[in-house]
Amino acid sequence: MTHGKEHPAYLAHHFSEVEQQQESAKLGMWIFLLTEVLLFGGLFCFYTIYRAWNPDMFYNAHKFLNVELGALNTVVLISSSVTMALAIRSMQLNDRKKTIWFLVITLACAAIFLVVKYFEYSHKFHLGQLPGKFYTFTGVQGNNPHIFFSVYFTMTGLHGIHVLAGMVAISWVLYRTVKNNFSAQYYTPIEMTGLYWHLVDLIWIFLFPLLYLIG
Amino acid sequence: MSENIALARNYLNTPRGLKSWLLTLDHKRIGVLYLIAIMASFFLGGVFALLIRWELLNPGRDIMGPDTYNQVFTLHGAIMIFLFIIPSIPAALGNFVLPQMLGAKDVAFPRLNLASWYIYLFGALFAVYSMFSSAVDTGWTFYTPYSTETTTSVISMTMGAFILGFSSIFTGLNFIVTIHKLRAPGMTWRQLPLFVWALYATAIIQVLATPVLGITLLLLVLERVFGIGIFDPAMGGDPVLYQHFFWFYSHPAVYIMILPGMGIISELIAVFAHRKIFGYNAIAFSSLAIAFISFLVWGHHMFVSGQSPLAAMIFSFLTFLVGIPSGIKVFNWLATLYKGSISFATPMLYALSFLFLFTIGGLTGIFLGALATDVHLHDTYFVVAHFHYVMMGGTVMAFLGGIHYWWPKIWGRMYSEFWAKIAAVLVFIGFNVTFFTQFILGTKGMPRRYYNYLDQYQPLHAFSSIGSWILGLGFVVMLVYLLHSIYRGRPAGSNPWGALTLEWTNSSPPPPENFDEAPVLTHGPYDYDKVLVEEGSPARA
Amino acid sequence: MDSTGTLFMPPGRSTIAGEVDTLFYFIFYTSVVFFAIVVFGITFFSIRYRRQRKAGLTSGLAHNTKLEILWSVIPTILVVIVFFWGFKVFIKMHVPPKDAIEIKVTGQKWFWTFVYPNGSNSLNELVVPVGKPVKLLMSSRDVIHSFFVPDFRIKMDVLPNRYTVTWFEATDPGIYNLFCTEYCGKGHSEMLGKVKVLPEREYQAWLESGSGGGEGKTPEEFGAELYVSKACVTCHSVDGTLLVGPSFKGIFGHVTQLEDGEAMVDENYLRESILNPQAKIVAGFEPVMPTYQGVLNDRQLDALIAYIKSLKE
Amino acid sequence: MSEHSKSHIHILPLKTYLSVGAALLVLTAVTVGVSFIPLGGFNVVVALSIASVKALLVALFFMHLLYDKKIFMIIFAVAILFLALFITFTMFDTMRRGDIDVMQAAPIEKDAVIYKERGSDSTAVPSGIIPDSVTTAPEGH
Ligand code: HEA
Ligand code: HEA
Ligand code: CUA
Ligand SMILES: [Cu+2]
């Protein structure tokens, strides 16, 4: 307003330029991602310390995770990251149709991820490989194997909640893309959702080897 | 609102109506909403404090049984920490002045700002709920395994604290982005008022440390519900690990409490000594240094917890390093008084009280940071006295100073200087009577969180309780004249203190959008050496 | 150290106390100096540079490199000294001498149990010889407690499912307070004990008596003693007040309300309540009373029962 | 905010995204493969190194860290740094508790209560004043 330039509808009153608004959003998003890293940080610390205390138990217990399903989920999530990135790229090129398609694929991948997780979880529930005091499985050698499953469920559980939240965010930007809210000039919400989604992927990239491969 | 103030269009009267307040996106209104919520929390926490002191007047039962006492000190601690002191300066005063100091129209994310207030209320609701269901009795630290086995409402209180954490994170995030992106054209980092620097350092701690509190409390809840076995020894867990997790947040949190206070003190001393601040760079930089080091000292709360001697050594060493930037600040403030023109208006009285009390509080931190002496002093009243000196004597004094300093800006009216001075003196005296005795109690071995105590401690406890009444009286006086001034105070004018930061270029109360045009900087925030001291100085007002 | 202690510290009665106090007072006087500088600065400047009636300009001085280095470096040197000093004494507190007497300490809600090398035990009263190092091997049965003897300047948390260690060497015979300093619930402030420091010979005699005692006393008197020394007092009053457990006042010969049913309080009931407390739970109380099986011998049991019997309304 | 042209839009070629995606998939295959080769302690090192490379690829390309303002990279680095400090400093304690006395290093009962109850079918024995643990010495690490 101060500049007397025309100001588009998406420019909030307290910013003077679109540029400033976009960069603020991005900065805010990155700081938010930082808090997410530290939120998961507590769980990584949990993992590291108990693994260092009971390496053998962790090793024995991790064999009960299904590497194939874990790997499948890794592939699914990585693919969804690619399509997410491409969705943004298409928007930058003003190709709204493609953006919509890529977002839909991303959403589908997220859903596949959760379905696979569902099967993994229900199999474990069935065997009594439950966290904490509900643990009734007897096949793991070593002290306190229930702790491994506590780690497994808290880490993948919190991650799963993030996937779910990501799906909500993606659906929302998808809806807004369909409603033609975005253009090559303004697509900040998609970009933010993308950043979030890549972080969710990034965390999984660590969870997969830590839990499934090396216990 | 009456007379001339009502005529001017300002953020208080435009637009009107309760709904416009509850849905406001204006940082000033959100600041005021926070202020109300925070003052309410402080008085609630204060009432619990008075109950504690009443019960401790004599050994044995005075007014409540041990269960109730344990709940009362837990609620006192939890309310004071999570509901009052952490949000106090940043969310209330910071919200109100930060954008104005930067010459901005608002914070970067106004909606997030309002959301954080509602999240605060929501968290407070949980905390209050846990007060009325079987109140928590774990102490504000929620140590396991006690917190996993007590039958009281630990879950609702920890969920409350968890939610309040998000409110704090969002405030911090908002401030960082605002400071980075919304400074007035031409305002460099070196021209930021020191309060802004302090808020910046605080915000960094808020976003880095609070998530860990979040996950800790979540794990605690999971421990209670599922027995996941991370913290509960019966389930194969390690209670000392809980302490690491808790203090990784809660030590940095003490600097979330003090840094904004230090920022206010920098403003007050410069304004009321009417003098260019001494060592601007040193003060700004030491805030960042404190913020960084504060992450690496948490283990000093655990010197006798059974942690390894190696860890104790490292934590003790780093603890001392925090003392140095704090000392640098204190000495720079002192030096700012040199060759100034010192006015003793109420805010300055609080600033000087801060210097006096924080120095005591900080220096007693050194006794606690030293390994051998902490073994004796840990979990005694010495610690209680230490942290009240830094929190009440430090942060709360700064907060009160800030309230009195910005009060005319917030409401457009002056409070009674006479009554304000009386209250300030009562608070100062009452505070020292209450808490200095506790240093002696502590060194003599009186443990904290004790409902009952040996007769030998009685005289000092009684003395301390008497102090708390003086303190309470001071606050009642303060409450009365402050509320009175909102309606009856004389109009304040835009810049009653002759201060140079940007918020004072606005009218009082400021217009809804702060600035029509982005302000043009004509001088730095502390160029008092270029401005004549005004004659009708506020000291005599 | 004189016997009343100094303004801040209680009298020191262990070999380490003197060292802790010296460090304490080193920090104390250093702090006093810094505090004095700050207060003097505030006062002097406030008077000297108070706002005058006439308008003027204030100083623009904003730097003084020499001063700034001074007030950064001096505190740094001081804290480094304090750190090393504190660490040295801390390590000394943590490494027990090889020849120390080892006593096992158990904390539980809300009393202490001590087991001596010869297998005898005591509750809430730690008996040690003077001038001999004593190592405490500690653990807890429930939540965290903390073992604190102010006169010895030692404190150590007592953790469930883990051992912690501390040690001391008492320098004077006498009786000293023992506190629990880690918050542990309702009885936290009642979790008090005593450390009884005896001359070597008396200590040996005490050990040999199997911590039994009670010679030459009536059963009621002996029972009253045990009521305190075996920690019944933490949970049971004799004046009708309800603590963690029911009061003993006038229970004998009456019918007590149980969680399921009721029972006549007679000798057998009392014996069962003490040896197998979980068998019958009094209505309105939690089943938290520990069993005294193996802790009380028959004579002591009889004495306690006699004592409870004597507590008429 | 001054450099209008640069930060405005930086569109990466399609090829970049696809090749980074392919690299990620290949690395996933590699890390799964390697995990079946017993390398002892090295398995951890290899798995974490590969994961770090993958994470870096995601951050640099998908999240545009390579092309965006430096500040975002700094924020990301700070997050990792503080996470590392948190874990390291906690381990200064948890790994070194036996320094003075090995008895302090390990828990007394290695197994949680849930296993004990399962072991014997008798109902919980009332706990006595003197725990069994006092008489049975623990085995240090
Ligand atoms: C606002 C909050 C606040 C602040 C700022 C501080 C500041 C400091 N605190 Fe405090 N502290 C608490 C709040 C705070 N603390 C709380 C709430 C607890 C208890 C929690 C609980 O258990 O419930 C606690 C407990 C606590 C402990 C644990 C005690 C125990 O339980 O055994 C320790 C131990 O090291 C400690 C140390 C310090 C130190 C070294 C500083 C330093 O930052 C102080 C630095 C300042 C100065 C040193 C003074 C100024 C300097 C000079 C004048 C220069 C000269 C200086 C030197 C020569 C060094 N604090
Ligand atoms: C910001 C933090 C803060 C503040 C400001 C205070 C303020 C006070 N505190 Fe608090 N305190 C803590 C944080 C704080 N405290 C914490 C964290 C603990 C540890 C808890 C734990 O162990 O878990 C603690 C513990 C604690 C104890 C130790 C309890 C124990 O260990 O057994 C004591 C004892 O004296 C005490 C006293 C006081 C007193 C007298 C005040 C006074 O300064 C209060 C002054 C305020 C008032 C007097 C209010 C005025 C109101 C009125 C007069 C009523 C008017 C009412 C209406 C109009 C509705 N506090
Ligand atoms: Cu046991 Cu406090
Ligand atoms: Cu601390």
For the stretch C272-301, pLDDT in tens is 888 888 888 888 888 888 888 777 877 788
**Are B449 and B70 a contacting pair, CB within 8 Å?**
yes
Residue nearest to atom 1 of ligand 3 (CA): C145
CATH number of A19-43+67-128+150-208: 1.20.120.80
* Strand ranges inside C237-295, DSSP E: 255-257, 262-264
Which member of A33, A85, A93 has the closest CB to residue D62?
A: A85
Identify the CA nearest to A32 among candidates B31, B259, B171.
B171
The CA–CA distances, whole Å, from C245 to A132, B70, B102, C185 equal 32, 18, 63, 15
Task: Write out the two tokens for C208.
Answer: 């040999």
Across the range B138-157, mean pLDDT stands at 90
Structure pTM? 0.91
- Give residue limits of the domains in chain C: 1-46+62-95, 101-208, 219-310
SS3 C295: coil
Using a pLDDT cut of 70, give the percent of chain B over it: 97
Query: Average pLDDT, whole number, for chain D?
Result: 79
The mean per-residue pLDDT over the stretch D14-40 comes to 91
Tell me the pLDDT band of D141, cut-offs 50, 70 and 90. Answer: very low
pLDDT value at residue C5: 65
Q: Does C101-208 match C219-310 in CATH topology?
A: no
Q: What is the torsional sign of CA A88, A94, A96, A101?
A: negative
Interval D83-132: pLDDT, tens = 999 999 999 999 999 888 888 888 888 888 888 766 543 333 444 455 44
Burial class (CB in 10 A: 0-12, 13-18, 19+), B393: buried
Residue B2 has pLDDT above 60, yes or no: no
- The sign of the torsion formed by the CA atoms of C207, C210, C212, C215 equals negative
Looking at C166-175, D6-15, D61-70, D86-95, which range is the least confident one?
A: D6-15
For B522-539, write each residue's pLDDT tens digit.
888 898 888 877 644 443
* Sequence-distant (≥ 6) Cβ neighbours of residue B472 within 8 angstroms: B46, B50, B430
**Which DSSP string do the residues of C192-230 spell out, in sequence order?**
-EEEEEE-HHHHHHHHHTTT---TTS-HHHHHHHHHHHT
Q: Is the CB of B383 under 6 A from ligand 1?
A: yes
User: Above 70 in pLDDT, residue B514?
Assistant: yes
- Residue D27 Cα, gap to closest chain A Cα (Å): 10
At C230-260, the pLDDT tens digits run 888 888 888 888 878 888 888 888 888 888 8
| Per-residue pLDDT at C77 exceeds 80 | yes
Query: pLDDT higher for B55 or D42?
Result: B55
Shortest Cα distance, chain B CAs vs residue C130, angstroms: 21
User: What average pLDDT does chain B have?
Assistant: 92
Distance, CA B139 to ligand 3 centroid (Å)?
A: 13
Q: Which of B325-329, C130-134, D110-114 has the lowest mean pLDDT?
A: D110-114
pLDDT band at A6 (very low <50, low <70, confident <90, very high): low
Assign a CATH topology to domain C1-46+62-95.
Helix Hairpins (1.10.287)
- Cα dihedral across residues B279, B284, B287, B289: positive or negative: negative
Q: Which two tokens stand for residue B478?
A: 């303060």
Average pLDDT over residues B355-363: 96
At the top level of CATH, the class of C219-310 is mainly alpha
| Closest ligand (CA of B365) | 1
Calpha distance B352→B334 (Å, rounded): 10
The amino acid at residue B526 is: Y
For the record, the structure tokens of A12 come out as 């909030």
Query: Which of B228, B295, B520 is most worth mutating to test chain A (most A CB atoms within 10 A of its CB)?
Result: B228
Confidence of residue C4 (pLDDT cuts 50, 70, 90): low
Mean pLDDT of B223-228: 91
Is a pLDDT exceeding 80 seen at residue A157?
A: yes
**Given an 8 Å threshold on Cβ–Cβ distance, is B359 in contact with C52?**
no
Q: Give the strand pairing for C174-180 and C262-264.
A: unpaired
Looking at residue B219, its pLDDT comes to 95
* Mean pLDDT value across residues C175-195: 93
Whether residue A70 contacts residue A130, with contact meaning beta carbons closer than 8 Å, is answered with: no
Q: Is the CB of B277 under 6 A from ligand 2?
A: no
Partners of residue D59 in chain A, C-beta under 8 Å: 198, 202
Q: How many C-alpha atoms does C276 have within 13 Å on its Cβ side?
A: 7
pLDDT for the residue C215: 66
Q: What is the pLDDT of residues B430-462, one digit of tens each?
A: 999 999 999 999 999 999 999 999 999 999 999
Q: Do C160 and B233 touch (CB under 8 A)?
A: yes
CA of residue B77 to ligand 2 center, whole Å = 7
Could you report the per-residue pLDDT of B8-20, keeping only the tens digit for each?
A: 788 988 788 899 9
Residue contact C7–B440, C-beta within 8 A: yes
Over 50: is that where the pLDDT of D4 sits?
Answer: no
A152-172: average pLDDT = 96
CATH of domain C101-208: 2.60.40.420
**Shortest CB distance from B109 goes to which of A28, A35, A144?**
A28
Which domains are assigned to chain B?
7-535 (1.20.210.10)
At which residue do the structure tokens 């002093």 appear? B377
Write down the pLDDT at residue D103: 83
Ligand 2 and B430: CB distance under 6 A: no
| C47 vs D4: which has the higher pLDDT | C47
- Which value does ipTM take for this structure? 0.91
- Give the number of other Cβ atoms within 10 Å of residue B454's Cβ: 14
Residue boundaries of the structural domains of chain A: 19-43+67-128+150-208
Output the CA B527–ligand 4 centroid distance in Å.
36
CA–chain centroid gap for D53, Å, is 15
Give the pLDDT score at D107. Answer: 87
Going by pLDDT thresholds of 50, 70 and 90, the confidence category of residue B329 is very high
The residue ranking higher by pLDDT, A52 or D40, is A52
Percentage of chain C beyond pLDDT 70 is 95
Q: Examine the pLDDT at B276 and tell me if it is beyond 60.
A: yes
CA dihedral defined by B428, B509, B24, B520, rounded to 10 degrees? -110
pLDDT value at residue C210 = 63
For residue C158, give the ligand 3 atom closest to its CA: 1
pLDDT at A215: 62
What is the average per-residue pLDDT within B414-435? Answer: 96
